[in-house]
Amino acid sequence: MHLLTRLVQWAFWYCCDFMVNLGNRTHTSYNEANTWVLLLLIPGLLALLIGVRVGQSVQLWRLRRPAPQPRRK
C-alpha cells in the first residue's frame, strides 16, 4: 500500500507542476489553466471521442447488414 500512496502523490504533484508550468507559459494563473483544461479541453475531447465511436458503430452496422437479394421474375 505504501507504494500505491507514493505513486498517487507523485501523479498529483506531477499534474500540479504541469498546470503551474502551463499557466506560466500562457501568461495566465494556475486557476485559469486548470479551468481551461478541466472544463473545456477534457469535455471537448470526450465529446469528440464519443462522436467518433458513434460514427464507427454506424459504419459497422452498414457493413454487417446483409446485401439485398436480386428479385427473380
Span 27-51, pLDDT tens digits: 999 999 999 999 999 999 999 999 9
Q: Is the pLDDT of residue 70 over 90?
A: no
Total domain count, the chain = 1
Q: Other C-beta atoms within 10 Å of 19: how many?
A: 19
Instruction: Please report whether residue 17 resides in a domain.
Output: yes
Q: Is the pLDDT of residue 1 over 80?
A: no
Q: Is 13 exposed, middle or buried (0-12, 13-18, 19+ CB in 10 A)?
A: exposed
Locate all alpha helices (DSSP H) within 1-73, ordered by sequence. Answer: 2-25, 30-35, 42-64
Residue 71 is predicted with a pLDDT of 83
Query: The pTM is what?
Result: 0.62
Region 19-26: what's the mean pLDDT?
94
Instruction: Please report whether residue 73 resides in a domain.
Output: no
Instruction: Please report whether residue 32 resides in a domain.
Output: yes
Structural domain of residue 53, as residue ranges?
A: 2-64
Confidence of residue 53 (pLDDT cuts 50, 70, 90): very high
Residue found under cell 494563473: 29
Instruction: Please report whether residue 31 resides in a domain.
Output: yes
Instruction: Please report whether residue 70 resides in a domain.
Output: no
